[in-house]
Structure 1
Amino acid sequence: MTDIRRSTTALITADELPPLKHFIDGAFRDPASAETATVVNPATGEALAEVPRGTVDEVDAAVAALPAWRETTPKERADVLNRLADIVEENADLLSRIESANGGKPKEVADDDIAGTVDVLRFSAGAARAYTELGAGDYVTDHTSFILREPLGVIGAVVPWNYPLLMGAWKFAPILAAGNTLVLKPSEQTPLSMLKFIELIAEALPAGVMNVVTGRGTVVGNRLADHPDIAMVALTGSVGSGQAVATAAGESLKRVHLELGGKAPLLIFEDADLAAAAEGIRAAGYWNSGQECGAGTRVLVHESVASEFVDLLVEQVSSFVIGDPAAGEDVEIGPLVSKGHFDRVVSAIDTAVQEGASVAVGGRAVEGDGFFVEPTVLTGVEPGTFAASEEIFGPVVTVETFSTEEEAVRRANETPYGLSASVWTTDAARSIDVPRKIDAGTVWVNCHLVLANDVPWGGFKGSGYGRDLSLYALQDYSRTKHVQINHARR
């Protein structure tokens, strides 16, 4: 029986909850519909709040909130973003506890999310003032050209349940820095930290610049995608959600920014530091209970060292502290976000075993309250099976073997995803050559899931297109205009 740390202490009190309303044009508004979604604490299964389900009319009202934000200078926008970062820092403990209570995040994960939110706001504030473009000049005789970078307009942003505030910041920080306004839809499952954030920063942001409408993706998300006055939809979510948004956006030819699923391969070669690889996967494969699109979940290890590596990995995974985030700061693995997602992850493990995989450690749901699944390692996974190909999105790492470098690269690329990957080797030439051959937007060498706001994040193939973070994000959320002046003297 897996030992689960339980707690009878609540992470947040009722008076710390945000207003359970939509935020439109600078104010919280009573919902038009009485329909709500129940938000639960996944560590206990108990209800935390009832959040309104928005309507098409409420999305339209948010889109119509059009302040003169685009006319502000980069410095003015940067000053506002830095003020928002200050407010998040001042309320870091509260926001972290809300993330833990609503998402089941251990304190280390929730604290990291809040720190990341602060940093992406500060990076975007600086980046707003540091665009570089082609220099003005006469590229045609007697005609001077210069390049303007302009905001797109109103952007619809759809944020996932696994990082409700951090992924929100990955969207709204560069969107606002580039001079756009936005309407943001948080996940129905984890909307509380975003609603609290907007409550805290309401007076620091001009009315109408950022609006939040809660509700179903099929209603609120679809309206953002097909609204004629929205210039772009930015979504982090599942492949199915991305396909639906891209299809709807295609009717009006609006731009789409998609950060979708992943099935990150980790190529562990015979010359790798196996102990370091196992320790790295302990973090990269199970961070946020594996509910992470870039998680290192699909190990491809050379057959000559597979047995030794699996022993090291099992030792690492067996040492996790599992439990309710309220039960102590040393809890490392929390619950999955919902009963529905819990059922999907348990079913995926069962399917893998039916397809021939073996459970090296874990592999079971945990009895009792909450949506806990044991940290799991599956070995003997065959190419082409469900576990080798599809995103499980839980605390599950699969292990396959390969015999040659060419096979490893081919197998790494055989899934429909292309978000991230890693290569583990002490061969200098291989560490440069193999990453070039892998179809993934980020390839780490001798590490995995190491992120920085200064560098881009995004995928290829079924993992979507567009880039979060870095100057590339601000470029995605803006447009270039060429102005040419004929100055010939006659």
Structure 2
Amino acid sequence: MTTSPSYTAINPATGEEISHHEHTTDEQVADALQRSWTAYQAWGARPIEERAKIVGAIADLFAQRAKELGALATQEMGKPIEEATGEAAFCADIFRYYAEHGPKLAADTVLEETDEYRAVIERRPIGPLLGIMPWNYPFYQIARFVAPNLMLGNTILLKHAESVPGCALAVQEIMDAAGVPQGVYQNIFATHEQVSSLIEAPRLRGVSLTGSERAGAAVAQQAGAQLKKAVLELGGSDPYIVLSTADARQHARDALAIRLENTGQACNSNKRIIVHEDVYEEFLDEAISQIRALHPADPAAGEENAFGPLSSEKAADILVDQVQRAREAGATVHVGGERLERPGFYVSPAVITDIPVGSDIYYEEFFGPIVQIYRVSSDEEALELANDTQYGLGSSVYAVEEGRAEALARSLDAGMVGVNQQPPETESMPFGGVKRSGYGRELGPLGMDEFVNKRLYAVKK
């Protein structure tokens, strides 16, 4: 297997190299920032209705190319083919939402108006922005950052994950084909040092990162030193609380379907399933049975009852190590959690119970197909366990009794809360967290309220 510090795509199902791209040079990065700044002068001055037409064209192209984009994501990061195609199609919905609703969302808000005086809040662009995107949703993560900011009139420098260069280039092709003016959106294969230099550059006005806590902390520190706005979407260890249910086995199947999406590699996955003792045994038994029935397969094949590889060998090694450390801490591994003897980066899905609360491994995020199940004896215990995490991205709570789930949900310390459902993840609903899950919001109306100058404009008539 070939490895490289540059932008190299490796098929997770086979371990074979697909493509290799050299880093952007320092001179190219400097030129890209200059082009971004120059383009901003014209792009930000264009009527928002004109920008909306181009953003709408981007939506059309994502819809038209969803299958080919999905195949590319499956090849580069191992996403199951149907999920990958669905991700690309969802990007079309995001761009279309902002094309249609952006002009209203960015409209002036009147504060005071008389015959002699008028004061409004304008929502104006702030300039070139840097987006640092992850591999796990190689199109969706870009869409939710880029769509509202193109509508606002900001320009974009996009640094994607080193493992998905083909996806990065495909998005650039879509932007160009849709008529995005030169310099408004630019993909750069930047190094970490070049990212730091961009954040320090006066003409770069803000940075958005989706990724690890470590990367988020570094970017936040650099942006803070330059007094620049940052939006961070980091890790998660979302609680999924089952207080009561009419069918414990069906509820277990539903919970697993959520947990195993993208082979468990989602920030807002239901990583800690907390089940009341009244339904715990039946829930656990069904979860183990369902996991045992899964088999490894090529993610491009679209097989049922199958699981694919993790995104990289490093990801697989980390996950196997975490499972072993959980076992050493006293947890019970009922099934799975082992590296498979086959090409690619396959780790068998696992069900783990009894991870000791307070242990080091308890507070870690398992970024893969690991189902953690915890038993509680009361609603109060469930709430305490749910909030006992350094993260605060999403959460959900379920109960059949009227008002029971809602009563607990009001006290959940998270950026997104669902009652008898997962927090809705649509183009019109804001996404983001608290605590070490980051800060800021993307999608929905709040997605256009981050990298914007909310300018007071007062006129004496």
Q: What is the distance in 2 between the residues matched to 1:175 and 1:320?
A: 41
Q: What does the per-residue CA deviation read over 1:167-199, in whole Å, with 9 as the maximum and x for residues that have no partner?
A: 011111111111100100000012211211212
Tell me which residue corresponds to 2:185.
Answer: 210
Equivalent AA in structure 2 for residue 135 of structure 1: V
- Contact 1:419–1:463 (8 Å) recurs in 2: yes
- Contact 2:240–2:396 (8 Å) recurs in 1: yes
Q: What is the distance in 1 between the residues matched to 2:71 and 2:280?
A: 40
Q: What is the distance in 1 between the residues matched to 2:296 and 2:287?
A: 17
- Contact 1:466–1:476 (8 Å) recurs in 2: yes
State the 1:269 CA deviation: 0.9
Q: What is the distance in 2 between the residues matched to 1:442 and 1:200?
A: 31
Q: What is the distance in 2 between the residues matched to 1:165 and 1:85?
A: 12
What SS does structure 2 have at the residue aligned with 1:432?
A: helix
Q: What is the distance in 1 between the residues matched to 2:241 and 2:302?
A: 35
State the 1:386 CA deviation: 3.8
* C-alpha distance 272-348 of structure 1, shift in aligned 2 (>3 A): farther
Q: What is the distance in 2 between the residues matched to 1:91 and 1:52?
A: 26
- Contact 2:396–2:417 (8 Å) recurs in 1: yes
Tell me which residue corresponds to 2:109.
Answer: 134
Instruction: Structure 2: state its 5+ residue gaps.
Output: none
State the 1:58 CA deviation: 2.6
Tell me which residue corresponds to 2:357.
Answer: 383
Q: What is the distance in 2 between the residues matched to 1:58 and 1:385?
A: 47
State the 1:483 CA deviation: 1.3
What SS does structure 2 have at the residue aligned with 1:228?
A: coil
Equivalent AA in structure 1 for residue 281 of structure 2: S
Q: What is the distance in 2 between the residues matched to 1:248 and 1:406?
A: 40
Q: Which shows bigger deviation, 323-332 or 350-359? A: 323-332
2:36 matched to 1:60?
no
Superposition map of 1:99-114 within 5 A: 99-114=73-88
What SS does structure 2 have at the residue aligned with 1:327?
A: coil
Aligned length: 452
- Contact 2:156–2:184 (8 Å) recurs in 1: yes
Tell me which residue corresponds to 2:61.
Answer: 87
Q: Identity, % of aligned pairs?
A: 34
2:230 matched to 1:240?
no
What SS does structure 2 have at the residue aligned with 1:428?
A: coil
Which of 13, 16, 26 pairs up with 1:46? 16
Superposition map of 1:21-420 within 5 A: 36-65=6-35, 66-67=38-39, 68-131=42-105, 133-135=108-110, 137-138=112-113, 142-203=116-177, 204-216=179-191, 218-271=192-245, 273-330=247-304, 332-420=306-394
Q: Which shows bigger deviation, 116-125 or 428-437? A: 428-437
Q: What does the per-residue CA deviation read over 1:87-110, in whole Å, with 9 as the maximum and x for residues that have no partner?
A: 222222211110000011111210
State the 1:320 CA deviation: 3.2
Equivalent AA in structure 2 for residue 64 of structure 1: Q
Q: What is the distance in 1 between the residues matched to 2:456 and 2:153?
A: 18
Q: What does the per-residue CA deviation read over 1:325-362, in whole Å, with 9 as the maximum and x for residues that have no partner?
A: 23345474211111111100110111111111112222
Tell me which residue corresponds to 1:9.
Answer: none
Q: What is the distance in 1 between the residues matched to 2:306 and 2:431?
A: 25
What SS does structure 1 have at the residue aligned with 2:129?
A: strand
What SS does structure 2 have at the residue aligned with 1:341?
A: helix
TM-score (norm 1): 0.88
* RMSD between superposed Cα atoms in Å: 1.9
Equivalent AA in structure 2 for residue 404 of structure 1: S
Q: What does the per-residue CA deviation read over 1:61-118, in whole Å, with 9 as the maximum and x for residues that have no partner?
A: 2111121110111211111011111122222221111000001111121011111111
Q: What is the distance in 2 between the residues matched to 1:113 and 1:220?
A: 29
